Amino acid sequence: MMRATTVSRRRSARARVSALVAGGAFAALVLAGCAAPAPEPAPAAEAPSSAAPAAGVETPAPAASPSGSATPPADPTCENIIPQATADDFKSLGWTSQEDQFRMGATALDDGIQCKWGDTKIASDRVQIFGWAPIDDATAKTAQKDLVAAGWKVEKDADGVYVTENPDWLNGRGADGYGLTYFFGDGFVKLADTRQSLILVQSPR
């Protein structure tokens, strides 16, 4: 009798444990069903497109060349510092050009050119002189100072500075009292055998 009772108690205890386990599992399922759904993961931020700059980043503008174009300035020659028509006229007379270094007294400009046009077959003073060179402000001031110290005359106007031969040296040469004349402009200097002829001298084309 006592053994039967003991067996019955054990079965009752196991039944209660099973009921508790089942109840706990059911409660967990209920709680899981009532819980708020987990938030969806936020979409990953897109990397900036290579076609457009990132916000707040400025794209540098293309650098411009000093001359304002992609083509570098031409090197000066005896033909490209005067109008082509003038060079053609000289050639039609049988004239040729003699190239030399651009000089202003003791100052020489390696990047410039000085030209003498004439008929090399005939010994004559009938020649035309033209020159052009790039120059910086400091060199221009030094050259002007040296020329004036040597007796050259200075005249200024809104376009630039003219430095011309002393009229006492001309002995009938020149036009309107002007012989060899340098004109100092913005970043360049040009030369002609008369001041009036400076109009023919241009930047290398």
Q: How far apart are CA 56 and CA 44, in angstroms?
A: 21
In our burial notation (b when 16+ CB lie closer than 10 A, e otherwise), range 61-97 reads eeeeeeeeeeeeeeebbbbbbbeeebbeebeeeebeb
Q: Which residue has the tokens 């009921």?
A: 19
Residues 182, 160: contact at Cβ < 8 Å? no
Q: Give the pLDDT band (50/70/90) at residue 154.
A: very high
Backbone angles phi, psi at 182, to 5 degrees: -100, 140
Q: Which residue has the tokens 């794209």?
A: 59
The predicted-structure confidence for 97-147, as pLDDT tens digits, reads as follows 999 999 998 899 999 999 999 998 877 778 999 999 999 999 999 999 999
Instruction: Answer whether residue 34 shows pLDDT above 60.
Output: no
- Mean pLDDT to the nearest integer, 156-164: 94
The predicted-structure confidence for 48-64, as pLDDT tens digits, reads as follows 444 444 454 444 444 44
pLDDT of residue 108: 94
84-200 is classed CATH 3.30.70: no
More confident residue, 22 or 97: 97
Instruction: Report the predicted TM-score, pTM, of the whole model to 2 decimal places.
Output: 0.64
Greatest mean pLDDT range, 2-6, 66-70, 103-107, 128-132: 128-132
In the predicted model, what is the mean pLDDT of the chain?
Answer: 75
Instruction: Answer whether residue 47 shows pLDDT above 60.
Output: no
The predicted-structure confidence for 170-189, as pLDDT tens digits, reads as follows 876 777 779 999 999 999 99
The domain spans of the chain are: 1-33, 84-200
Q: How many C-beta neighbours within 10 Å does residue 32 have? A: 8
